[in-house]
Amino acid sequence: MISTAGTERQAELDGNEVAVKRRRKRAARGKGWLNLLSFASFLALWQAVVWLGGYPSFILPGPWAVLIRFGQAIQSGLLWDNTLVTLGEIALGFGLGASGGLLLAYLLYKSRLLETILAPYIAASQALPVVAIAPLLVLWFGYGLLPKVLICAIIVFFPITISTVVGFKSIERSLVEVADLFGANGWQKLRLVEVPLAAHNIFAGLRLGLTLSVTGAVVGEFVSPSRGLGYLLNFSSSSLDAPLRFVALFTLVALAILGYRSLTALERRLVDW
């Protein structure tokens, strides 16, 4: 039987929870208005720069010109067709780079010897400028999708690997030993102890990798520009269509933000329970 004191206590807790939820909603609304205000200020500043500088549209278009061009590019299908191409490259490149990075990170965590051998090469892979090796990849693998996916994967690979290794290494040794004591096998340890405890670092690496994959896809399209948002950047430059250039740039930014937010939401759902 629940006592009166217990019921009162429960009501107090429920009331607190409602109050907390209300406070969070108010904070979110406030944040939303702040975001809107800062975006409007950015647009106003941008237009002011165009007016005061007297810039012609092909050097610096105003926000209204860019918005109109957005509409035209959407209506003609130009934006959607090219965005799909870039999205495909990002998805495949990120998938390849992330799987390779996560797998290698786990192997490096498990084997000191492997880490000692591979660490210099992993560091070197980051030091190599991708724009310099991109033409070589096209030379070796042709002008199709593969070199662009590989360029993307190379860019994504390093931050995911390093972040994941750091995450695994930050796990308290005693917690893993406890799992051993309870007779957990390798797969159980990985699933129930190591990955959950390293999850924040893993997701940090994945978020960074995903935003970098957008850059990777564009680098690939600059070298082998048949379609995609990188191609649109190239084309808009050659035809002095600066509004279209901004359309492509903003679309790339939107893809990166969308990817970042999606992974953050996934992390909250999977990890922060």
Partner 1 sequence: MQKLKGLLLLITMVGLVAGCDSGGTANTPAAALKKVRIGMGYIPNVQFAAYYVAQEKGYYRQAGLDVSFDYGSTDDLLAQVAVGKLDFANSEGDELIVAASKGVKDVYVLAQYQRFPVAVFFMADSPIKTVADLKGKRIGLPGKYGANYNGLLAMLYANQMTEQDVRLQEVGYTQAQAVQSGQVDAAVGYAVNEPIALAAQGVKLRTLQASDSYNLASIGIITSQDKVAQDPTTVQAFVSATLHGIADMNADPDAAYAIAAKKEYANIDQPNSAVQLAVLKETAKFQQPSGNQRLGASDPAVWAATAKFLQASGLVSTQLDVSTLYTNRFVEASQVKLRLAREMLVEQSTVQKGDYPPCVS
| Helices 130-141 and 195-223: angle between axes, nearest 10 degrees | 70
Shorter beta-carbon distance to partner 1: residue 120 or 129:
129
By CB under 8 A, tell whether 70 contacts partner 1. Answer: no
Dump the DSSP string for 26-84: HHHHHHHHHHHHHHHHHHHHHHHHHHHHT--TTTS--HHHHHHHHHHHHHHTHHHHHHH
- Binding map of partner 1 across residues 121-160, x = CB under 8 A, - = no contact: --------------x--xx--xx-----------------
Minimum CB separation of residue 174 from partner 1 in Å reads 55
Question: Where do we find the tokens 């159980």?
Answer: 188
Q: Do 73 and 246 form a contact (C-beta atoms < 8 A)? A: no
Instruction: Compute CA distances 171 → 195, 203, 213, 256, whole Å.
Output: 10, 15, 28, 30
Among 2, 3, 38, 77, binds partner 1 (CB under 8 A): 77
- How many residues lie near partner 1 (CB under 8 A)? 30
Minimum CB separation of residue 218 from partner 1 in Å reads 13
By CB under 8 A, tell whether 69 contacts partner 1. Answer: yes
The footprint of partner 1 on residues 205-264 (CB under 8 A) is 223-227, 231, 234-235, 237-241, 244
Shorter beta-carbon distance to partner 1: residue 150 or 210:
150
Cα 49-50-55 angle, rounded to 5 deg: 125
Task: Report the interface residues with partner 1, using CB under 8 A.
Answer: 56-59, 69, 72-73, 76-78, 81, 135, 138-139, 142-143, 223-227, 231, 234-235, 237-241, 244
